[in-house]
Amino acid sequence: MRLFVIPRALLPRLFLWLALALVLWQGWYLGWVIAWRYFNPSETSFMAMRLQELRQTNPHARLQHVWTPYEKISIHLKRAVIAAEDDKFIDHEGFDWEAIQKALEKNERRGRIVAGGSTISQQLAKNLFLSGAKTPWRKAQEAIITVWLETFWSKRRILEVYLNVAEWGEGIFGAEAAARHYFGASAAQLTPEQAARLAVMLPAPRRLGKNPYSDYMNRRTAQIAARMRFSSAP
């Protein structure tokens, strides 16, 4: 079988086209990052993926999602999410290197990936644009988008979008839909205990949301509620 060989004279042009394609691809991401600084995303890549999964069994499935402005989300939920997911959110520039190092050490001890060390900014970058695949390319793209979010958005905007697109159960996205589903209240009315309970669900919302008052959930909720007093939100 004869192998196809690229003529050496064409290599510079090929590299140029590849570089241009990469710049255009990154520009597409950057364009949306800048646009969403001013406009609210109606759907994220992660939401689209979940909806596709739901429609495999129910073609008429819809997501529960209601956008809520930052000022209409309970301060308790903001503090609870920061306490549970990213206690250095206010101070870091997108990456918590200490948490990443601890996660790597924990994964090495367990022999498998059990911790990620991702910040709220990193989680938002992934949810907005990327898949859940744990590949080096996806992690590299996540890091690039995280830098852009931290550069072009305020911490307040990052947290506002995160709270509005985070998954909180089967087909449940955003603080407003979560508050209504679990407590029959609006996101503005959440109590400290309710906010802490929602924050505990975030690492595995579809599993933990099935039994929000399990022993594990009750124990973790008490822990997060105790830590909330030391958290501040932008």
Instruction: Report the C-alpha gap between 62 and 75 in whole angstroms.
Output: 28
Q: For residue 20, tell me if it sits in a domain.
A: no
pLDDT of residue 133: 75
Residue 21 resides in a domain: no
DSSP label at residue 185: S
In angstroms, the CA 31 to CA 129 distance is 12
Q: What is the pTM of this model?
A: 0.88
- The CATH number of residue 73's host domain is 1.10.3810.10
Residue 191 lies in a domain: yes
Task: Tell me how far apart the alpha carbons of residues 89 and 162 are, in angstroms, rounded to a whole number.
Answer: 12
**Is position 1 within any domain?**
no
207 in a structural domain? yes
Which domain does 89 fall in, by range?
29-36+43-54+65-228
- Digitized pLDDT (tens) for each residue of the chain, 234 residues in all: 455 566 676 667 667 767 777 778 788 999 999 999 999 999 999 999 999 999 999 999 999 999 999 999 999 999 999 999 999 999 999 888 787 777 666 656 555 554 567 899 999 999 999 877 778 888 899 999 999 999 999 999 999 999 999 999 999 999 999 999 999 999 999 999 999 999 999 999 999 999 999 999 999 999 999 999 988 898
CA distance 140 to 152: 19
The domain total for the chain is 1
The reply to whether 16 falls in a domain is no
Three-state DSSP at 201 gives helix
Helix residue spans in 90-229 (DSSP H):
97-110, 120-129, 136-152, 155-165, 175-183, 192-201, 205-208, 215-228
Predicted local distance difference test score (pLDDT) of residue 114? 47
Given this model, what pLDDT does residue 24 score?
82
Cα–Cα distance, 164 to 167 (Å, whole number): 9
